[in-house]
Amino acid sequence: MASQAQTQVGIIGAGPAGLLLARLLRMHGIDSVILEQRDRAYVEGRVRAGVLEQGTASLLEEAGVAARLKREGLVHEGIEIVARDRHLRIDFRDLTGKAVVVYGQTEVTKDLIAARLAGDGPIVWNAADVAVHDIDGEQPTLTYRSDGRDHLLVCDFVAGCDGFHGVSRQSIPAQALQSFERVYPFGWLGILAEVPPCSHELIYARHERGFSLASMRSPTRSRYYIQCAVDEDLSAWPDARIWDELKLRLGPAAAAGMTTGPSIEKSVAPLRSFVAMPMRFGRLFLAGDAAHIVPPTGAKGLNLAASDVHYLSRALIAFYKKGQADALERYSESALARVWKAERFSWWMTTMLHKLHDESSFEAQMQLAELDYLASSRAAQTALAENYVGLPY
Ligand code: FAD
Ligand code: DHB
């Protein structure tokens, strides 16, 4: 016999989307239970995104979890784009009046988990076999296994915040969902190292050997990426080879400022564009990577998860506090309008900066023309900047 419990919003997944949603709901007196298939150490240690839009930072502030972000986050007012030894700075502050904050997703997650566990409500770690039932009825339920026992959670609503490989989206009947996908024929090899960054701003580099990116987590911790094969064998990439490749691709100026050192994390991520529509089925609402994936160029993944949560939290609060269901009805439409623009931007940045074709191809000439136009046009730079800092909610 399964043990039974009840909550207002059952949340699947303790990534940024699920944790932030739970926190914002709690601040308005709405209860939730978070079911997470992994353990806390795994979730807190997963190295992923690093750039927060101002809107994401404001949402974390609204959630009361921005004290450390304000202390330790690095405000960046621009980025550098390098191609064929030509350096172009995109000045966000001048072009848009806005900036972004460099603060790791690991830190966002730790801050949100600490707040949750300080009395907000439960996170069920290691929840196995999570399944979603009756989402097209009045009272959806979630079943799962934890501590060797079966559990049943009765909910008013279910928030599917369980990432691309989660169960939520798969629980929606296939005929009710339309999917759009582009899988890119390359990946990103990322390393984290306890060394100062090679530049005070992020550098995105297009090179005939492939794309590379110099990023950071703090003044003493660097994050770098290089374009690689999807099935790249990590054992073929000892640290020394990665540093040499980065120096070649990022160019002499970055190479001169680069401090090398042992990597503390090394992994390959595939690149994908994906959108599932609508982001709602009955009483199940999808948010974040559960509904859409962007290739990482442009740093939109985490920020899109936050903007979905912005719309979903406000819709649930309007429902519970004012009895208004219209924002819930419009959730998918509101979230998707922003999702598609971020998909476009991430696809455009990816296409402009990665090696997709031979250098002698028409496509390579188009990339160079795009970059040349960007360098010569304030309008083009403004378009990049306003997307990078984040379009309005
Ligand atoms: P997730 O962070 O994926 O969280 C989903 C949670 O649900 C996880 O904790 C997972 O364990 C849990 N879960 C999954 N299935 C189940 C289940 N069946 N039952 C219970 N729990 C479940 N974005 C950038 O902007 N820049 C980057 O550099 C960048 N790098 C990335 C590198 C990698 C390897 C990946 C995978 C993503 C990267 N992203 C990056 C994207 C960004 O990290 C995501 O967009 C962001 O994590 C989305 O948050 P989320 O909460 O929607 O999903
Ligand atoms: C990082 C990742 C990105 O995809 C990006 O565009 C910028 C920074 C990062 O992990 O630091």
Write out pLDDT tens, residues 90-103.
999 999 999 999 99
User: For residue 163, what pLDDT is reported?
Assistant: 98
pTM of the predicted model, to two decimals?
Answer: 0.97
Q: Which stretches of the chain are DSSP H helices? A: 16-26, 40-45, 54-62, 67-72, 92-96, 105-115, 239-250, 252-257, 301-322, 326-353, 362-376, 378-388
The answer to whether residue 143 scores a pLDDT higher than 80 is: yes
Write phi, then psi, for 298 (nearest 5 degrees). Answer: 110, -10
Q: Whose atoms come closest to the Cα of 349: which ligand? A: 2
- Residue 16 CB-density burial (10 A; 0-12 exposed, 13-18 middle, 19+ buried): buried
The answer to whether residue 194 scores a pLDDT higher than 90 is: yes
User: For residue 351, what pLDDT is reported?
Assistant: 97
C-beta of residue 353 within 8 angstroms of C-beta of residue 204: yes
Tell me the mean pLDDT in the region 297-318.
98
Residue of 199, 202, 271, 346 with the most ligand 2 atoms within 8 Å of its CB, for mutation: 202
The answer to whether residue 181 scores a pLDDT higher than 80 is: yes
The answer to whether residue 264 scores a pLDDT higher than 80 is: yes
- The DSSP H or E segment spanning 51 is strand 51-53
The answer to whether residue 21 scores a pLDDT higher than 90 is: yes
User: For residue 307, what pLDDT is reported?
Assistant: 98
Distances (CA, A) of 360 to 54, 154, 208, 221, 364: 40, 60, 10, 37, 7
User: For residue 37, what pLDDT is reported?
Assistant: 98
User: For residue 254, what pLDDT is reported?
Assistant: 97
Residues forming beta bridges with residue 216, ordered by sequence position: 222
Task: Kindly indicate the confidence band of residue 201, based on its pLDDT and cuts at 50, 70 and 90.
Answer: very high
β-pairing, 149-160 vs 178-193, is unpaired
The residues, ordered by sequence, that sit 6+ positions from 139 with a Cβ below 8 Å of its Cβ are 154, 155, 156
67 token code pair: 């004290």
User: For residue 2, what pLDDT is reported?
Assistant: 84
Going by alpha carbons, the residue nearest to atom 2 of ligand 1 is 15
Cβ of residue 35 lying under 6 Å from some atom of ligand 1: yes
| pLDDT tens, residue by residue, 367-382 | 999 999 999 999 999 9
Cβ of residue 15 lying under 6 Å from some atom of ligand 1: yes
- Write out the catalytic residue numbers: 76, 204, 296, 300, 388
Distance 362 CA to ligand 1 centre (A): 36
C-beta of residue 30 within 8 angstroms of C-beta of residue 248: no
Nearest to 5 by CA among 200, 143, 195: 143
Tell me the mean pLDDT in the region 161-181.
98
Distances (CA, A) of 331 to 118, 255, 277, 309: 30, 46, 11, 10
Distances (CA, A) of 110 to 43, 161, 165: 9, 17, 22
Map residue 371 onto helix, strand or coil. Answer: helix
Sign of CA dihedral 39, 45, 51, 55: positive
Tell me the mean pLDDT in the region 130-153.
97
Going by alpha carbons, the residue nearest to atom 45 of ligand 1 is 301
- DSSP secondary structure letters along 154-195: EEEEEEE-S-TTSSTGGGS-GGG-EEEEEEEEEEEEEEEESS
Question: Cα separation of 284 and 290, whole Å?
Answer: 12
The answer to whether residue 1 scores a pLDDT higher than 80 is: no
The residues, ordered by sequence, that sit 6+ positions from 312 with a Cβ below 8 Å of its Cβ are 21, 159, 285, 287, 331, 335
Distance 165 CA to ligand 1 centre (A): 9
